[in-house]
Every structure is written in C-alpha cells, then in structure tokens.
C-alpha cells in the first residue's frame, strides 16, 4: 500500500482537496457491486448467497436488527464464493473479544472474504435493548476498533494481549482460550459514519467506512471524501487504503410502472431516515432546508402519508438512481466513479424475497459496473 507520500496521500505542501482529487482521478474503475440484506432464516440466506453470486454480485452486506449479522455471514460464505460484510453489526452489544473471535472464525471460514463492519446503533437500543453503555459513542467506537485489532494480534501470536484503554482493558488470553493463527489476513474493520468527526475517525483507524443509505453525490463529494482525507492524513495513511462502501436506492425497470414502485419505496425510506435530526444537514446541502423539521412534525402527528409527501420528486432524485435495465449500470458508474469502492444495492434483496428469479436481471448491471 502507498503511504502518506504516495499517489493518494497528502503530499508535503499539498492539501486535503489535492488528496481527494488525486484519489478520485486514480479510483475510476475498481468498483464492486454488492447486495444489502437484513437477517434471514439461515437456509434462506444460503439461497440468497447462491442466487446473488449467480447474478454477478460481488458480496452480501448483512445488516443486524432482529437477527444477528454474523450467523447470516457464516452460512452465506459457506454457500457461495461471495464477499460477506456485516453492514453493520452492533459493536457495543458485545465485548471487543467476542467480536474479534467471531470475526476471526468468519475470516477463516470464508477464505479471507469477510469484512467486519461495526456501528454504534443509538442510545435507546444500546441501553434499553442490550443493557449496555452508550456514553461517548464516537470515542468508544474508536477504542473498540483498536481493541479488536489487539485481539487479532494476540490470536496470531504476534503480540501478547495487553490492551489498556479508557473503556476496555484486556490482558488475559491463555493458549487454550485463543483460536490461534489462521491462514488468512486479519479481517478488515469498517465503521459506520455520518458526521465529520466519525468520518475523520474512520480515516484514522478503520479499513473502510459504511456510508449511511441517506446519501447524495453532494454529501459524498463535499463531506465524506474530504473528512476521510483529513483522517488518513492525521494518521499518516492514504485514501487508497480505505474501502468506501455506499448503499444506493436503485429504481430499475423498462416501464414507468416498474420504476415507480421502487421510486416510491425509496421516497418512504428517505422520509423515514430523514426524520432523524442528525441527518438534517444532508437535505440542507442540496437546497431543501427544513426538510427534517417538516418530517418530524408529520411524524409526531402520526401522519405517515404526510411524512412521505414531504419528499418531492426533485428532492428524491438526489438519493435515487433510476432508469431502464440497460441504463442502470452506466448510471451507477457515473454517480459513484471516483467515490465508492463498493456500491450496495439497497432494494434487490427485497425484490428477491418476493421473486427469487428477480436477481437474474441484475447480471447485466453487475457486468456494466465491473466493466467500467
């Protein structure tokens, strides 16, 4: 990998803007195309992995809600030769040692195709659903990543376990309790990040970043890449070392009716995500100031239809890639070239749940993304 003085780092006398421009110029063709899925019954997850691989998807990004992301990744990796990513697993629900041991086994089982994606979740879930501590979530997640890495080093035998942090202290790993070394590299660790502090932290200590599904080209260009560049510069690293994983609402279809069903589903999803106060700035960046306040007003009134109607077609176009099946591949490349290393289809698994044969239509899209 190139260091801070390499093609994608901040050269002496250079700026973060220069680093971002250089990285975008270089990173114009290496892009993977993944599929996002929530938890599924494990036998169904195996079916999805096989169908996704046959359709040309590079990987499965498995989210964690009612079902654990780790078991889904395990069975998917054994069913098909696809990359498996937790996107994300809830960090604070487990100790760093438990997470590290689970990731270690998944790296081995998948033949090195597993990526550990971690996120904070929100206070209510961490404290009231998991019964764990949520204070200082950003610094806590930063330390969590470092603690997991310390566990990896101890498993491999390259360093004794001696992590002395503010939130976690780990110093006991007798040989019989260590999984021992594996024949694959340490699992890469990616973190979910939205705001500048978290993005800079990802650039400093993580191997990649999971961008929130509520994203626009403006947000990616004006906040995500510059903040990541600041983070890697502070750590003496380079942007070229990071995986930038970007979910996308895609509305494909050869008829207006086919596209409209996904367009409207995306409108509801943007309204749901956009009601979170921390995401208000994303609308402000694209000239739709006050959108989150309007969404919250309708939400408090229990007016779901009213919430959805707040998101106009003009606003929604910033969040959705729509087009015919022949157009979608090039449209994805045009939007994400020079920004994302992995583009993640947000809706395809939902379509597959209704019609398992629907993934076949994505083969030409995957080909177009890979060819670009």
What confidence tens digit (pLDDT) does each residue in 256-277 have? Answer: 999 999 999 999 999 999 999 9
Pairwise CA distance, residues 283 & 114, whole Å: 34
Summarize pLDDT for 192-225 with one digit per residue, the tens.
999 999 999 999 999 999 999 999 999 999 999 9
Pairwise CA distance, residues 73 & 114, whole Å: 8
Phi-psi region of 327 (alpha: psi -120 to 50; beta: other; left: phi over 0): alpha
Residue that the structure tokens 């402000």 belong to: 284
- Decide: 28 and 43 in contact? Cβ < 8 Å: no
Question: In Å, how far are 50, 82, 345 from 58, measured between CA atoms?
Answer: 11, 6, 11
Pairwise CA distance, residues 285 & 221, whole Å: 11
Mean pLDDT of the chain: 93
Pairwise CA distance, residues 312 & 308, whole Å: 9
Q: What is the DSSP string of 66-108?
A: SS-HHHHHHHHHHHSS-EEEES-EEGGGS-HHHHHHHHHHHHH
Q: Positive or negative, the Cα torsion across 315, 318, 319, 323?
A: positive
Domains assigned to the chain: 16-254+325-371 (3.20.20.30), 257-323 (no CATH)
User: Quick check: helix, strand or coil at residue 342?
Assistant: strand
Q: What are the per-10-residue average pLDDT scores of the chain (372 residues)?
A: 32 52 54 96 98 98 96 98 98 98 98 98 94 96 98 96 98 97 98 98 98 98 97 94 97 96 98 96 97 97 97 98 97 95 97 95 95 83
Indicate the pTM of the whole model: 0.92
Name 332's Cβ contacts closer than 8 Å, sequence gap at least 6: 33, 248, 250, 321, 343, 365, 368, 369
């Amino acid at each position: 990998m190139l260091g801070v003085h390499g093609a994608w780092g901040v050269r002496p006398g250079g700026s973060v803007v220069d680093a971002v421009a250089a990285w975008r110029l270089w990173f114009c063709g290496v892009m993977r195309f993944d599929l996002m899925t929530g938890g599924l019954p494990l036998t169904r997850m195996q079916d999805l992995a096989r169908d996704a691989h046959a359709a040309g998807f590079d990987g499965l990004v498995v989210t964690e809600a009612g079902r654990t992301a780790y078991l889904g990744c395990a069975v998917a990796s054994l069913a098909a030769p696809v990359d498996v990513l937790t996107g994300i697993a809830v960090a604070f629900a487990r100790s760093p040692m438990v997470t590290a041991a689970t990731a270690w086994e998944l790296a081995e089982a998948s033949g090195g195709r597993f990526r550990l994606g971690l996120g904070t979740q929100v206070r209510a879930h961490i404290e009231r659903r998991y019964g764990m501590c949520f204070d200082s979530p950003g610094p806590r997640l930063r330390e969590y990543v470092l603690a997991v890495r310390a566990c990896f080093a101890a498993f491999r035998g390259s360093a004794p376990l001696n992590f002395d942090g503010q939130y976690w202290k780990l110093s006991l790993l007798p040989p019989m309790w260590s999984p021992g070394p594996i024949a694959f590299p340490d699992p890469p660790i990616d973190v979910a990040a939205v705001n500048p502090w978290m993005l800079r932290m990802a650039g400093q200590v993580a191997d990649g970043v999971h961008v929130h599904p509520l994203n626009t080209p403006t947000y990616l260009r004006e906040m995500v890449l510059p903040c990541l560049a600041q983070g890697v510069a502070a750590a003496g690293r380079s942007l070229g070392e990071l995986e930038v994983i970007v979910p996308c609402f895609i509305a494909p279809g050869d008829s207006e009716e086919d596209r409209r069903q996904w367009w409207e589903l995306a409108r509801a999803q943007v309204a749901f995500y956009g009601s979170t106060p921390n995401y208000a700035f994303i609308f402000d960046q694209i000239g739709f100031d006050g959108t989150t306040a309007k969404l919250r007003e309708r939400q408090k009134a229990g007016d779901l239809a009213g919430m959805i109607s707040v998101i106009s077609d003009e606003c929604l176009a910033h969040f959705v890639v729509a087009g015919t099946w022949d157009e979608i591949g090039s449209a994805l490349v045009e939007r994400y070239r020079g920004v994302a290393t992995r583009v993640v289809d947000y809706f395809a698994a939902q379509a597959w749940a209704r019609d398992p044969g629907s993934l076949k239509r994505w083969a030409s899209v995957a080909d177009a993304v890979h060819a670009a």
